[in-house]
Structure 1
Amino acid sequence: MTEDWCSNPSGFGTTSSAQSDGWGSASVSYDSNFDFSSGSFDSRVKSTNSEFGTSLMKVDWNSSNLTPFRKNFYQEHPDVAARSDLEVAKIREEFSMTVQGPHTLKPIMSFEEANFPEDINRTISAKSFKKPTNIQSQAWPIALSGYDLIGIAQTGSGKTLAFVLPGIIHINDQPKLKLGDGPIALVLAPTRELAVQTSEECILFGKSCGLSTLCIYGGTNRAGQLREIQKGVQFMIATPGRLIDFVETGALSLKRVTYLVLDEADRMLDMGFEPQIRKIVSQIRPDRQTLMFSATWPREVQGLAHDFLVDPVHITIGSLELAANHNIRQIVEFINEGQKPERLLAGLREVIKERTKVVVFTETKRGCEMLSKNLTDRKFPATAIHGDKTQIERDRAMADFRIGKFPILVATDVASRGLDIKDINYVINYDLPTNIEDYIHRIGRTGRAGAKGTAVSFFTEKNARLAKDFIEVLKEAQQKIPEKLYELVGSGSYGSANSRYRNRSPRRF
């Protein structure tokens, strides 16, 4: 592939073809309030979220007789204990890691130093993992010691196992579930895709220990999930909407939860789930262990952490600036809206020759469906995933994409987080998102686990307000910056695309 990723790159401002060509034009309104947990669109989702769980009464935990439980399972390995403060500082510098809090334990450098049970070690060996990821090396000692934890790390950093493995050990020490008991460990996730991905890791590592795991989310058979709940579940992964539905109707109790994880906390707040999260946590005993993971550290997430965590250890992996994965080559192409279809076809013809996978992002669900259909009509092996698909359709599309039956996945932002497939080499932003933060999450679908990747973005006149943010991201990642971006900033036409993050303290994704 050339630097331009395919031949004859289009220029910005050249003659445009018709805007409405059946490929999903930009005139379709952006469904910014899609409720990912229920799978249905509701233009009032943020106000509707606040109405969920209105019948739940806040539990008076002071008058409750809470059974004591154990939190600390960590046994420091002799090699870890022998590390000097200077050695620890060098490791953290190498890992681009900062650690703050009252319990800054030393990081581990190997799976042996984690002192996991043999059942877990066998599964780790079977997966051929070489060593802990940066977030795992520091999160495991903290989580296994029973301390509350805040983890800020980019997607694809291995954070799922950072909380899953300590959760399994925590569960194994608890008394067996009684009839009517709810889960012992609970993970809240913003989307069905992320919830399913997390549950797969829980099942993989938990089955050798005999743990029961259940993933619950909207848009699928409620009765089937209810039957599994009634059997008894130790490790539960859930989206907020479906979980609060079961709790509010009395089908599920959270009083046995002693290990709580808030995953992708910033995403859950962006989607308007804060009222639901607060109502869910009100049903969980206050002496629980709580872990929060997030890609960014905005004020809203800080407020949630302040209210829910006790003396947490704060781990940040990476730069304190908003940044993209440096393993991703970023290419910006200036193009007119009507030129997108043929430009995409030209690029895909070359990408398919490489026998690799590619994700093409669109702005709307309608545009996603239209683009997928048009690619299929032109004999391109494409499938689609968006919010109007049923869960069965989405699962089938993802399965076909994983095995390469359809190596082209057309998607809305429902796939911008939680999509962890190692051999995606290309991400194409057919439509750019409305802010740079979502752009970074999108392109993070490639270049995962140390691999290289390429992200191509079709930049049109309507995206001019992203110019300044694009320059900052490209500069930080040492990527080629097109002169056109500087021209847009110089003309003052870039506006303030990232205004909703202006008061945040951004972190590396």
Structure 2
Amino acid sequence: MESFNELNLSKQLHYTIDDLGFEKPTPIQAKSFSVIMSGADMVGIAQTGTGKTFAYMLPILQDLKFSKQVQPRVMVLVPTRELVLQVVEEIEKFGKYSSVRVLGIYGGTNINRQKEAVMEGTDILVATPGRLYDLIISRTIQLKAIKKLVIDEVDVMLDLGFRFQLTNILELLPTKRQNIMFSATMTEDVNVFIHDFFIAPTTVSVAVSGTPLENISQYAYAVPNFYTKANVLLHLLKDEAEYRKTLVFVPNKKSADLLFTLLDEFFGSEVAVIHSNKTQNYRIRSIENFNAEKTRILVTTDVMARGLDLDQISHVINFDTPVFPENYMHRIGRTGRATQEGTAILLYTEKEKEAKEAIEALMGVTINELDFPKEVAISKQLTYEEQPQVVEINNPTNVEEVGPAFHEKKAKNQKENQGGSYKRIIKQKYKKPKTRGDKNYNKRKKGK
């Protein structure tokens, strides 16, 4: 599709598209429009950075009529607070020339303020599953008016353990509704979820799971341990001109804090970190500063960076090798967006070699291996997880078989509890009545 004019959009949406500078729809936007407009259930599979938000909001806004009703008609579920804020901002841009009302609700903030906001009325509700479920239980949000449900980044939601909330929310929604789901990968969990709740959905896919984006150059370094990885990272990031805006992925919050501490000594205000233990204001400020290029290095976990609109990223550095190959695809998709060039670097240890090979098998390509930089020192310092585990000879900690007791029980403790005189004598004498409530049965038997 060469132009948005082929979609027969309203004047208000055309004005918005002109303001945003969009020239033609991306593949996922072009393929999704007619399916969503038809009212059929849809499953969209597309890599990060392909314009998924506009892909589902464009037909929804085209079809959404003016209304003064309080309860929402469209619900968008996303996995994180950051994504709620981002999607709300995007919808506000898309609906600039219309009267659409949009509201975002998420955890970590005052729930009473959100209840008040809901009661003022909205057309589109963007929410995280946890806080949404809380507001549904408190009867603040009524779901009877929902006509369209969008679940974005559903694979992340399932990974985060939101299946319980999602299931309960879906069961409370009106039966007659349109389901729209977007995911970067089609995992087994996602497939089961679709078959449980969707009715003959149309699948729209613009990139096979595991297909790397063509404009991303991929490289790898074989590194012995965590602190040597940190040395390699420091060596690379010293080149400010080359690594002008770098996203560094780590496996967990503990690694994020440790790496941030190491980088902070060298780069100070140039580096920031976000993960789920940071306050909401700190996380928002870190993302804003990174987008504004006030900081050029952002250390983050998979959950925090998934789906966030982080523009103009020059490099994605995988400080660890993801156990699930699909996560590698999510990470490198943060760079090389649209027609821009991007670079992805993977640091892997001997223990992570198998995971690296699984990634290469999924993509069908071999990541270019680079020689270890001669200027970088190989550290002998090990993290707790990397240190060899010491097992005491006389006090083994991993004993699979339990030996016999120290001594046999005394004879008096080996007796079987026979249940007292009732069980031994009375019950045996009178037996059980043949029918319930037959009070005369035992009397008749006794009389015989």
Would you call these one fold, judging by a TM-score over 0.5?
Answer: yes
Paired position in structure 1 for 2:213: 325
**Cα distance change of structure 1 residues 480 and 169 upon mapping to structure 2, 3 Å threshold:** same
- Contact 1:324 1:473 (C-alpha < 8 Å) held by counterparts: no
Whether 2:262 is the aligned partner of 1:374: answer yes
Structure 1 residues 197-216: aligned runs within 5 Å: 197-216=86-105
Change (3 A) 1:478 1:109: farther
The answer (yes or no) to whether the contact 2:13–2:62 under 8 Å persists in 1 is no
Q: Which amino acid aligns with 2:214?
A: H
8 Å contact from structure 1 (residues 170, 259) kept in 2: no
Distance in 1 between residues matched to 2:261 and 2:113, nearest whole Å: 32
Greater length-normalized contact order (CA 8 Å, ≥ 6 residues apart): 1
Residue in structure 2 matched with residue 110 of structure 1 by the alignment: 3
Matches within 5 A, 1:240-255: 240-255=129-144
Q: 1:184 to 1:395 in 2, by over 3 A?
A: same
- Structure 1 stretch 430-439 or stretch 196-205: which is displaced more? 430-439
Q: Which residue does the alignment assign to 2:25?
A: 132
Q: Which has the larger radius of gyration?
A: 2
How many angstroms does 1:153 deviate by? 1.1
Residue 312 of structure 1, CA deviation: 2.3
Write the distance in 1 (CA, Å) between the matches of 2:224 and 2:163: 39
Residues 224-263 of structure 1: pairs in structure 2 closer than 5 A: 224-263=113-152
User: Against the structure 1 CA distance between its residues 275 and 435, is the aligned structure 2 distance closer, same or farther, given a 3 Å change threshold?
Assistant: same
Please state whether the residue corresponding to 1:383 is helix, strand or coil.
strand
Query: In structure 2, do the counterparts of structure 1 residues 123 and 389 end up closer, same or farther at CA, with 3 Å as the change threshold?
Result: same
Q: State the match for 1:176 in structure 2.
A: 68
| Structure 1 equivalent of residue 43 of structure 2 | 150
Q: Which amino acid aligns with 1:434?
A: V
| CA–CA separation in structure 2 for the residues paired with 1:346 and 1:482 | 14
Deviates further, 336-345 or 233-242: 336-345
CA RMSD of aligned residues (A): 2.0
Letter in 2 for 1:335: V
5+ unaligned residues in a row in structure 2: which ranges?
373-448
Conserved 8 A contact 1:109-1:137 = no
Q: Report the TM-score when normalising by structure 2.
A: 0.78
Residue 286 of structure 1 is matched in structure 2 by 175
Give the corresponding residue for 1:62.
none
Please list, as runs of the form range in 1=range in 2, the aligned pairs for 1:272-311 lying within 5 A after superposition.
272-311=161-200
Shift of 1:279: 0.8
SS of the residue aligned with 2:278? coil
| Aligned with residue 267 of structure 1, among 152, 156, 161 | 156
> 1:161 Cα deviation (Å)?
0.7
Match of 2:34 in 1: 141
TM value normalised by structure 1: 0.69
Deviations 1:170-223 (A, max 9, x none): 3325x431xxx4211001111222222221111111232121111111122323
Inter-CA distance 298–467: structure 2 relative to 1 (3 Å threshold): closer
Residues 316-355 of structure 1: CA deviation (Å, up to 9, x unaligned): 1123x522222111111011213122211110011x2247
Distance, in Å, in 1 between the alignment partners of 2:275 and 2:160 is: 16
Mark the CA change 1:450 to 1:376 in structure 2 (over 3 Å): closer, same or farther: same
AA aligned to 2:222 is F
- Please tell me whether residue 400 in structure 1 is matched to residue 289 in structure 2: yes
Q: How many equivalent pairs are there?
A: 370
Structure 1 residues not aligned, in runs of 5+? 1-107, 485-509
Q: Give deviations 1:138-177, integer Å, cap 9, x for gaps.
A: 111111222221111111111111111222233325x431
Q: Specify the alignment match of 1:438 in structure 2.
A: 327
Judged with a 3 Å threshold, the aligned counterparts in structure 2 of structure 1 residues 414 and 253 are, in CA distance, closer, same or farther, namely same
CA distance in 2, matches of 1:286, 1:435: 35
Q: How far 1:392 moved relative to its partner? A: 0.8
How big is the shift at 1:383?
A: 0.8
**Which letter does structure 2 place at the counterpart of 1:176?**
K
Letter in 1 for 2:220: V
Work out whether residues 142 and 149 of structure 1, in 8 Å CA contact, stay in contact via their aligned partners in 2. Answer: yes
Check conservation: 1:199, 1:237, Cα contact below 8 A. Answer: yes
Q: Secondary structure at the match of 2:64?
A: helix
Give, in whole Å, the separation in 1 of the partners of 2:34 and 2:346.
40
